[in-house]
Amino acid sequence: MLNRAAFPTALRLAQGFPVLAITGPRQSGKTTMARALFADKPYVSLEDPEERLFADSDPRGFLARFPQGAIFDEVQRCPDLFSYLQGVVDKRQRMGEFIITGSQQFGLMSNITQSLAGRAGLLQLLPFSLAELNAGGMLPATLDAAMLQGGYPPLYDRPVTPGDWFPNYVSTYLERDVRQLLAVRDLSLFQRFLKMCAARSGQLLNLSALGADCGISHVTAREWLTVLEASYIVYLLRPYHRNFGKRLVKMPKLYFLDAGLMAYLLGIRDTGTLSTHASRGALFETLVVSEWIKRQYNTGQVAELYFWRDSAGHEVDLLIPDGNRFMPVEIKSGTTFSADWSAALRKLSALFGDAALPPGIIYGGEDRYEREGCHVAGWQALAK
């Protein structure tokens, strides 16, 4: 098992809260982390029909089996359990007693808010980061291989190819979760919606256009997208528009949280196809943005990232807060520096003034250097 960057955060939260809640997409390593860090605790999967029936029908009796606490996997399947869990932890006042995991923010977060507010420390765990893969000696050798494979742990701990694994992931997990949360009558329509979202990763989100292309209303498109957000499949990057007037774009940008899943949904099956694909730049941008989200999640933070774009089309891909200042970052999949890469960075830095940190460019090459007042770093810098 790879050493996860979130291990110290999980242990820290378990020292300060009676309940540690680990959430994230299915197959991101939540259960593996919980069982590795808290191996002394009994493990119960609430996907098991018998255990779920026991927890639903007799929650007090169910919890009485675990006087020293336990790990409850996919706990959102038993929403009534949360109120009884609150009573147990309030009575015992022991830190890190229960570890709960869930792959749907809807069920998990709503129940934590209602019953475990102030009692649960939250950790959001995404698939492997480039830094985790690099530390474990599993970093793909090339950028295209890294984008094609993505970061889901099963693609690194067993002999399975992305072309074999992703179809089963989509059908077994995504579509099942969707059926639990939405009344989707036409599953093929939802599959089309998924693929159209992948084709728009890195673009401004226009729900009306997305819905029209899929043959659904913008209301349905919003509902389905909300489920994808709650399942940690996509992320909406918000624009930064404070203090700069009304000529700035207010729509968010849509990003997948795993480049490998995005590549699969785009029909890309090998690095040869990827190297010349029209969406290669969007895949690289998706990879970089997801890496920054993972960095913040792994430290227990809520992801606080922005982009900037004005009505004239000037855009900076990422604004990364650092206190009251921001580091602007441009993302380019090319391997050779171009002078126009820094144009928007210079414009934004002038607007921000002293609030702007030295700008950076992450590109598809491998070297590091300074050009035109920008620190330019290759993709492998993200693996450090």
Give the pLDDT of residue 246.
52
CB 115 within 8 Å of CB 83: yes
In this structure, of 99-113, 125-139, 281-295, 330-344, the range with the lowest mean pLDDT score is 99-113
Averaged pLDDT score across all residues of the chain: 92
Q: What is the pTM of this model?
A: 0.94
**For residue 184, is pLDDT > 90?**
no
Give the strand pairing for 325-332 and 315-322: antiparallel
How close are the terminal C-alpha atoms of the chain, in Å?
A: 19
**For residue 129, is pLDDT > 90?**
yes
**For residue 161, is pLDDT > 90?**
yes
Q: What is the mean pLDDT of residues 275-300?
A: 97
**How long is the chain?**
384
Give the pLDDT of residue 360.
96
- Radius of gyration for the alpha carbons in the chain, expressed in angstroms and rounded: 22
Q: What is the mean pLDDT of residues 259-266?
A: 98
**For residue 177, is pLDDT > 80?**
no
CB 320 within 8 Å of CB 335: no
The domain 7-124: what is its CATH number?
Answer: 3.40.50.300
Domain range summary for the chain, segments of one domain joined by +: 7-124, 130-234+254-276
Say how far apart CA 282 and CA 302 lie, in whole Å. Answer: 24
Give the pLDDT of residue 245.
54
pLDDT digits (tens, 9 = 90+) for 185-220: 777 888 899 999 999 999 999 999 999 999 999 999
Give the pLDDT of residue 1.
74
Q: Which residue has the higher pLDDT, 232 or 250?
A: 232
**For residue 73, is pLDDT > 60?**
yes
**For residue 52, is pLDDT > 70?**
yes
